[in-house]
Copies of this chain bind each other. A is one copy, B any other.
Amino acid sequence: MKFLGKNVQISDSAKIGANVRIGDNTVIYENVEIGDDSIIANNCVIGEPTANYYSTESHKNKPTIIGKNALIRSHAIIYEDVQIGEGFQTGHRLTIREKTIIGNHCGIGTNCDVQGYLTIGDHCHFHSEVHICQFSTIGNFVFMYPGVVLANDKYPPTEQVIGPTIGDYTQIGIQSSVIGDVKIGANCFIGAQTVITKNFEAFAYILGVPAKRKGDVRDLKSESGEPLYPWKNRFSRGMPW
Q: Does A82 contact B (CB under 8 A)?
A: no
Instruction: Evaluate contact between B146 and A149: CB separation under 8 angstroms.
Output: yes
- Contact partner, A159, options B24, B128, B235, Cβ 8 Å: B235
Write out the residue numbers on chain B whose beta carbons fall within 8 Å of the beta carbon of A53: 2
Give chain B nearest CB distance to A10 CB in angstroms: 9
Give chain B nearest CB distance to A191 CB in angstroms: 8
Given contacts A71-B51, A177-B192, contact A145 B151 (CB under 8 A): yes
Write out the residue numbers on chain B whose beta carbons fall within 8 Å of the beta carbon of A131: 128-129, 146-147
- Contact partner, A158, options B75, B179, B235, Cβ 8 Å: B235
Distance in angstroms between the alpha carbons of A156 and B189 in the assembled complex: 9
Per-residue contact bits, chain A 174-204, to B (CB 8 Å; 1 contact, 0 not): 1101010000000001001101010000000
Write out the residue numbers on chain B whose beta carbons fall within 8 Å of the beta carbon of A113: 110-111, 128-129, 146
Q: What is the interface residue range for chain A against chain B? A: 35 or more
Given contacts A74-B48, A155-B189, A157-B231, contact A149 B171 (CB under 8 A): no
Instruction: Evaluate contact between A156 and B129: CB separation under 8 angstroms.
Output: no
Write out the residue numbers on chain B whose beta carbons fall within 8 Å of the beta carbon of A2: 29, 49, 53
List the interface of chain A (C-beta within 8 A of B): 1-2, 4, 6-7, 9, 11, 24-25, 27, 29-30, 39, 42-43, 45, 48-49, 51, 53-54, 71, 74-75, 77, 91-93, 95, 110-111, 113, 115, 128-129, 131, 133, 143, 145-147, 149, 151, 153, 155-159, 171, 173-175, 177, 179, 189, 192-193, 195, 197, 208-209, 220, 222, 228-229, 231, 234-237
